[in-house]
Amino acid sequence: MLNLNPEIKRYIESVEISHSFAKNYSHGIRSNGSWELFEPTRFVYAFFSFNMIFSINWPETLKINKELKYFSRRDGEFAKLQIESLVNFIHQADSSCFKKCLVDFKEIKHIYQECLNMPQDFNSGRKNPYTGNTIAHDFIAAAKLFTDGLNLTSEDHFNLLQMAYAVRNNLFHGEKKALAMREEGHRRRLYHYGSIILATNDSFFTIIENVYKYFRIESWEVDDNI
């Protein structure tokens, strides 16, 4: 097993603190003098930690084990290539890890039923260059496989994340209005998208722990950073 370089270890710890904040705390908004759960906040915090993970070229970073290696910008859909690299890194290390982490989110068992009739927008209606189907179509197909108890391939994992990334574009670039985000069906779907991202993060931390002698952070370390 490889002992992580201290710089790399500190970076992973900082990401896990952000991840744990998204996963283990309730996120809400104050409305009319009272607090209520607000799933978009959970999704946004989950995506921040996810972005900190997929922006690093982990095979190169861990091979050299001296410093963080960021991706070199290339033509094409840059974020898509980074996410694809992370998914492959996870599945090459343990092809069952992502599904095991996803099952830990109890409400995820409803993902297919609650996303089947979701409205399609510009981002979710874009074509997946690998399949020719829409992002939404491939997401629903992968969600059905999971609900049926079947194993998820790296392609299925990527198809779930593609949808989460399309939703990220909607939230960050104004496709969705605040009123739409408070609609019950949309909030339920956002919970599932956030769970997909958090399960991906958990898969990454699990592999780093099992293969590279990484010790997971304690709850007090998260509390100290709030």
pLDDT digits (tens, 9 = 90+) for 158-188: 999 999 999 887 676 555 555 566 677 888 8
Query: Which residue do the tokens 């690998």 mark?
Result: 130
Of residues 195, 218, 212, the one with CA closest to residue 65: 212
Give pLDDT, residue 181. 61
Q: Residue 76: pLDDT above 60?
A: no
Query: And the tokens for 124?
Result: 């979710």
Helices 39-54, 154-172: inter-axial angle, 10-degree rounding: 120
Range of the structural domain that residue 104 is part of: 6-223
Of 85 and 24, the structure prediction assigns the larger pLDDT to: 85
Give pLDDT, residue 217. 87
d(C-alpha 224, C-alpha 14), whole Å: 12
- Give the three-state DSSP class for 30: strand
Residue 147 lies inside a defined structural domain of this protein: yes
Give pLDDT, residue 214. 93
Residue 44 lies inside a defined structural domain of this protein: yes
Confidence of residue 35 (pLDDT cuts 50, 70, 90): low
d(C-alpha 101, C-alpha 195), whole Å: 9
Residue 1 lies inside a defined structural domain of this protein: no
Q: Residue 28: pLDDT above 60?
A: no
Residues listed for the chain: 226
Query: Which residue do the tokens 């949808």 mark?
Result: 163
Query: Which residue do the tokens 């970073």 mark?
Result: 61
Q: Residue 134: pLDDT above 90?
A: yes
Residue 84 lies inside a defined structural domain of this protein: yes
For the chain, the average pLDDT equals: 87
Residue 200 lies inside a defined structural domain of this protein: yes
Using only C-alpha atoms, the chain has a radius of gyration, in whole angstroms, of: 17
Residue 176 lies inside a defined structural domain of this protein: yes
Of 110 and 180, the structure prediction assigns the larger pLDDT to: 110
Q: DSSP states of 70-95 as a string?
A: BPPP-SS-HHHHHHHHHHHHHHHH-T
User: Mean pLDDT across the stretch 88-98?
Assistant: 97
Note whether 46 and 198 are within 8 A (CB).
yes
Of residues 207, 147, 224, 219, the one with CA closest to residue 2: 207
Residue 217 lies inside a defined structural domain of this protein: yes
Q: How many domains does the chain have?
A: 1
User: Mean pLDDT across the stretch 149-160?
Assistant: 96
Confidence of residue 75 (pLDDT cuts 50, 70, 90): very low
User: Mean pLDDT across the stretch 150-158?
Assistant: 96
Query: What is the percentage of the chain residues whose pLDDT exceeds 70?
Result: 83
| pLDDT tens per residue, range 181-214 | 667 788 889 999 999 999 999 999 999 999 988 9
Residue 191 lies inside a defined structural domain of this protein: yes
**Buried-exposed string 62-90: b where 16+ CB fall within 10 A, e elsewhere:** beeeeebbeeeeeeeeeeeebbbbbbebb
DSSP state of 24: H
Rounded to two decimals, what is the model's pTM? 0.90
Q: Kindly give, in sequence order, each residue whose CB lies less than 8 Å from that of residue 37, ignoring residues fewer than 6 positions away.
A: 26, 27, 28
